[in-house]
Amino acid sequence: MKPVVIISTYPDKKSITKIANMLVKRQIVACVNFVKISSVYSWKKKIENTSEYLAIFKTTKKNIKKLKNEIRKTHPYKVPEIAEITIRSLNNSYLKWLIDSTN
């Protein structure tokens, strides 16, 4: 089974905590890491400087479609980032835990 990471950004800790707990509880992801970041981006022809939370969703290839759908459905942004990163190598003990946590 192939491990996959999805990254996205969220506007506040409350919104990412809610989705992270739901996804772990439903075993769609094994883990979600999130950290507060500063972002500079263009939105509606204006340069924005904001604080956001970068979320790293850890799952397996079999759950990727479910995960992306849940992010789209629950995300507070009109245009959410949903970037898929394929993992080429992962230590065996962590991979086993990831697979066991996402059945």
| Residue ranges covered by each domain of the chain | 3-101
Residue 66 backbone phi and psi in degrees, to 5:
-60, -45
What does the pLDDT read at residue 26?
97
CATH 3.30.70.120 fits 3-101, yes or no: yes
Question: Which phi and psi (to 5°) does residue 11 adopt?
Answer: -75, -25
Cβ(1)–Cβ(22) below 8 Å: no
Q: Six-digit token pair at 5?
A: 């990471």
Q: Is 93 exposed, middle or buried (0-12, 13-18, 19+ CB in 10 A)?
A: exposed
What is the pLDDT, as a whole number, of residue 86?
A: 87
* Average of per-residue pLDDT across 40-53: 95
Quick: pLDDT tens for 53-96: 999 999 999 999 999 999 999 999 999 999 999 899 999 999 99
Q: Which two tokens stand for residue 46?
A: 């204006």
Are the C-beta atoms of 87 and 4 separated by less than 8 Å? yes
